Structure 1
Amino acid sequence: MKILVTGAAGFIGSHACERLKSLGHDVIGLDNFDAYYSLELKQLNEKALNNKGITIVKQDLRDNAFAEMLPNNINYIFHFAAQPGISPSSTFEDYLTNNIIATKNLIDYAASLKDLKLFVNIGTSSVYGLEATFPETTAPKPASFYGVTKLTAEQLVLQKSREKRFQSCSLRLYSVIGPRERPEKMYTKLIACAFNNTQFPLYNGSASHLRSFTYVGDIIDGIVSVIGNEAKVNGEIINLGTEVEHTTQEGINTVEQVIGKSIKINNVAARSGDQLRTKANIDKARALLNYNPKTTLLEGVKAQVEWYEANFL
């Protein structure tokens, strides 16, 4: 199958490209190499993909010219590209254009594809709001520009299933960790602080926050399992993550255990819109996709530390 992966130079998108390629698919990546975080890291991911025969088209989905650079015989689209997370450096316009306008442009391209079997939107547990412990039938209550715009993007994609224009689904991911995690995310920050003897900025009150820290390999298992299950997932929203919860403090302790040294903590003001608890309800994923994440937090942190040591020390 010919598969398009947007956000291919990013954390989860690059892993998806590799897995899809290993399964024998013809994978085309697309990424705008936005400077939201280090281009060095994105270029490192790109090099890893190039070494496996995967080419990344450097285009921005906000510019309709991207469609001219892509073939018209794509069978699957996995849409990871987005303005991520909760960041004071990101404006509402950043979220609006990257998460809504870009998705609408990609949908328009998808509607022109005669051989498209499935459009897979990569969503987020952030759409549920300050607590994300619910089944997919629960009404979303996003508490950030990120959550609001990702929810809108999700509904734009699913609208096409309702209109019977093409088949689509949305996968809501929970607190993904592992090699290539973005530099502003918790575990990459913790690992960098431990090795560089610098302070980790801990948001006030967040040490007790609960998260479904899910290893990226387990997330990719769920994502690729939609292939061949188009009839089951068409029009559906599906949570992907682990049911095991850990506090932020337990995450800090785990990194200290793996690296063998204490991490200096600098308490900083709490973030507006930060989730208090995420626990993936994956009953639907089990029923439809036989989804069963198995990687422990300790195993995931070990893999991420090894990746960091190999690339940044």
Structure 2
Amino acid sequence: MKILVTGVAGFIGSHTAERLLSLGHDIIGVDNFCDYYSLELKQMNANAVEDKGATIIKMDLRHPENYKLLSNDFHYIFHFAAQPGISQTSTFEDYFTNNIIATKHLIDFAITCTDLKLFVNIGTSSIYGLEATFPEDVMVKPASHYGVTKLAAEQLALQKSREQKMAACSLRLYSVIGPRERPEKMYTKLIDLGLKDEAFPLFEGSDKHLRSFTYVGDIVDGIVSVIGNEDKVDGEIFNLGTEVEHTTQDGIDAVAKVIGKDIKIDIKPKRVGDQWRTKANIDKARKILNYNPQTTLLESVKSQVDWFKANCL
């Protein structure tokens, strides 16, 4: 199958592209290589995917004229590209244009792909709001520009399914960790600063926040499981993540154990819009996609530390 992966130079997009290549698919990846975080890291991710056989095109999904760079013979589209996370450096316009406008243009392109079997939107647990412990049919209450715009992107895709213009589903991911995690994310920062004996900036009270820290390989298992299940997933939303909850402090302790050093802490003021609890309710994904994440927190952290030492020191 010919598959388009957007955001292919990112953390989860690059892992998914590699998995799809290993399954024998023809992968075209696109990324705008923005400087939200290290372009060197993004290029390293892209190189790893290219080395395994993917073709990568630099393009910005926000501009309709750029789609002429793509053929319209894709069988699947996996849409990871987005303005990520809760960041004080990102404006509402950044979230709006990257998460809503870009998704709208990509969907318009997808409708022209006459052999398209499924459009897979990559959503987030942030759509639920400050607590993300619910099944997919609950009323959502996003509490950040990121969550609001990712909800809008999700609904743009599902709208086309309801209109029977294309088959589409959305996957809401929970607290993904592992090799290639973005530099500003918790575990990468913990590992980096811990190895340097520097203090980790911890938002006040967040040590007690609960998270479904999920290994990226387990997330990719769920993502690729939609292939061949188009009739079951069309028009549907699925949570992907582990059912096991850990506090932020558990994560700090796990990193300390793996690197063999205590983590110094620098308490910072609370961050607005930060979720206080996520626990993936995966009953639906387990039933329909046979989804069953197994990797423990300590196994996940060890894999990420090994990768960081090999690639970032």
TM bucket (normalised to shorter chain) is over 0.9
Structure 2: tracts of 5 or more residues without a match: none
Task: Normalising by structure 1, report the TM-score.
Answer: 0.99
Structure 2 counterpart of 1:9: 9
| TM-superposition CA deviations, 1:58-98 (whole Å, max 9, x none) | 00000112211111110000000000000000000000000
Structure 1 counterpart of 2:274: 274
Equivalent AA in structure 1 for residue 76 of structure 2: Y
**Residue 299 of structure 1: CA displacement?**
0.3
Structure 2 counterpart of 1:197: 197
Distance 2:11 2:254 in 1: 21
Structure 1 counterpart of 2:70: 70
Structure 2 counterpart of 1:284: 284
Matched residue of 2:303: which SS? helix
Structure 2 counterpart of 1:207: 207
Matched residue of 1:263: which SS? coil
Matched residue of 2:94: which SS? helix
Equivalent AA in structure 2 for residue 237 of structure 1: I
Structure 2 counterpart of 1:40: 40
Counting aligned pairs with the same residue, the percent is: 72
Structure 1 counterpart of 2:232: 232
Distance 1:157 1:72 in 2: 18
Matched residue of 1:228: which SS? coil
Structure 2 counterpart of 1:298: 298
**Residue 198 of structure 1: CA displacement?**
1.3
Matched residue of 1:102: which SS? helix
Distance 1:213 1:227 in 2: 25
Q: Where in structure 2 are the equivalents of 1:174-189 lying within 5 Å?
A: 174-189=174-189
Distance 1:173 1:122 in 2: 7
Equivalent AA in structure 1 for residue 107 of structure 2: I
| TM-superposition CA deviations, 1:253-298 (whole Å, max 9, x none) | 0000000001111000111000000000000001110000000000
Distance 2:87 2:74 in 1: 34
Structure 1 counterpart of 2:22: 22
Equivalent AA in structure 2 for residue 296 of structure 1: T
Q: Which moved more, 1:154-163 or 1:50-59?
A: 50-59
Distance 1:195 1:50 in 2: 30
Q: Which moved more, 1:50-59 or 1:217-226?
A: 50-59
| TM-superposition CA deviations, 1:23-56 (whole Å, max 9, x none) | 0000000000011001010011011111111121
Structure 1 counterpart of 2:121: 121
Aligned length: 313
Structure 1: tracts of 5 or more residues without a match: none
Moved over 2 A (4+): none
Structure 1 counterpart of 2:249: 249
Structure 1 counterpart of 2:139: 139
Distance 2:213 2:66 in 1: 34
Equivalent AA in structure 2 for residue 191 of structure 1: I
Equivalent AA in structure 2 for residue 90 of structure 1: S
Structure 2 counterpart of 1:91: 91
Equivalent AA in structure 2 for residue 259 of structure 1: I
| TM-superposition CA deviations, 1:107-148 (whole Å, max 9, x none) | 000011100000000000001000000000100100000000
Task: Normalising by structure 2, report the TM-score.
Answer: 0.99
Distance 2:82 2:256 in 1: 31
**Residue 171 of structure 1: CA displacement?**
0.2
CA RMSD in angstroms comes to 0.5
